[in-house]
Amino acid sequence: MPSPDASLWTDFLAGDERAYERLFLTFYDELYGYGMRLSNDGELVKDSIQNLFQRLWQRRTELRAVEAVRPYLFKSLRHEVAKAIKAQQRRSWLQSSYSEEFKVQYSPEDFIIAQQLTAEQHARLLGALGQLSNRQREAIYLKFFDGFSYERIAEIMALNQQSIRNLIYQGTQSLRRSLTPVLLLVLLHGGERVCQ
């Protein structure tokens, strides 16, 4: 039996405007949160989500059915934000080369889940995350905060599953060396509670 999201997607592909609207409303907040981790420009992220959904509607007859709508939309938004950043750079006449690797950004609220951390613990937590590569941070965010499987993260980040496993393993090893067990649990398992 298809998931409710897959059924909604199928209805959208058939031209149901209400299904299209429900897709937008259902996923907007999550897409916005993810987009803000790819770029700290809120207007760029909003425009990217809008462009994504406009393009989906225009091309719905060319699209195929998907069982996992959420990762499909995350991956699509990732590409849309990348295009918007690239266009913004061209318009601004920036000469720096474009990188597919995003600088994933976090707010303290992302990590302080139902627990009060001292200022020192908070500083250590953010410091440890700052030592990770951008791709490690993004993979860890997608795994522990958004609850995606390795397979779905690989699709979103356009890498193979083994690379994703390696990024997450290396990132968590680095965090283990930098954090106390309690802080590591808050970071890695606190994120899972947010997704449920």
- DSSP string computed for 17-71: HHHHHHHHHHHHHHHHHHHHHH-S-HHHHHHHHHHHHHHHHHTTTT----S-HHH
Q: Give me the long-range contacts of 54-58 (CB less than 8 A, separation at least 24).
A: 55/80, 56/12, 56/20, 57/20
C-alpha separations of 125 from 36, 38, 129 in Å: 20, 20, 6
Record the pTM. Answer: 0.64
pLDDT higher for 107 or 80?
Answer: 80
Residues with Cβ < 8 Å from 10, sequence gap 6 or more? 2, 65
- Express each pLDDT in 127-184 by its tens digit: 787 888 989 988 988 887 788 999 999 999 999 999 999 999 998 888 888 777 766 6
Tokens 């090893």 belong to residue: 173
Predicted confidence at residue 114, as pLDDT, reads 36
- Sketch out the chain's domains with CATH numbers: 4-91 (1.10.1740.10), 108-195 (1.10.10.10)
Find where tokens 């613990």 sit: 121
